[in-house]
Amino acid sequence: MPMQRTGLVWHVGLAVSLLLVCALPATCTSLHDAFDSRKAYAYTSEIAAFGERWPGSPGHKKAENLIRQVLQKDGGQVEADDFIAHTPRGQVPVHNIVGKFNIDGSNGQDIFVLAGHYDTLFKPGFIGANDGASSAGILLAFADVFARQKTRMQIWLVWTDLEEAIEAFKGEDGLYGSRHLAHKLAANGQASRIRGLFLLDMIGDKNLNVARESHSSAALQSVIAQAAAVLGYDQFFSITTRISLMTTFRLSRSVYRLWM
């Protein structure tokens, strides 16, 4: 994953930072300035170097440990969403990780979610620098930011697990982690407090092109388009009448109906 092939991807992170500055006025403009693209790339490289990260593999455990270590270092409230998934391969332990920042102690505080997954395909030799490592890495870079930045909303950084299908994305195969977490938040009443969610999945593409995602909120798509234009990053987005930050359908199918 050479630097020159992926340097453009972190403009997405800067655009999201500016968007959160606009949505969360307590931060003024320092949130965008605090985002470090070099850290995002370094985290992505570190995670990709762990190798295959399907649940139960040594690389998966290393990625899980790194996420927890960074969240603890940055002072985030770490919550686990652990369960056993029933898959075509049998029972598979799943470990979603949620890092919460800027909790004011009230029961009604609004929440904004940045999400991605850290697992890879059940495929020998599949490293997933783009598909898994890039989303996990950029979320870790955001954790470093929110260690120092105050926001009006709670910020949840969500790393979902076992998003990849065991055999194929048919029926209930795939999206195990996000589906479980979405139903859990709907059941405990927290879903109604979530004001928005951006999925940062597969953003390490060599030729980054963030396209319109038809299942998403038009209002949120407009906001991210405006942020990209202000920063001069609109060439990395397919801007016609509307655009989206979501480059795949992962997580959005499961959570949009419950969280938005």
Catalytic residues: 163, 201
Phi/psi for 166 (5° steps) reads -70, -45
Both tokens of 152, joined, read 């009006």
Q: Which helix (H) or strand (E) holds 14?
A: helix 11-23
Residues 6+ apart with CB under 8 A from 210: 12, 203, 236, 237, 238, 243, 244, 245, 247
Taking the C-alpha atoms of residue 249 and residue 255, their distance in angstroms, rounded to an integer, is: 11
Nearest to 151 by CA among 23, 12, 13: 23
**Alpha-carbon dihedral of residues 178, 245, 9, 132, nearest 10 degrees?**
10
Residues 163 and 250 sit within 8 Å (Cβ to Cβ): yes
Q: Dump the DSSP string for 46-83.
A: HHHHT---STTSHHHHHHHHHHHHHHHHTT-EEEEEEE
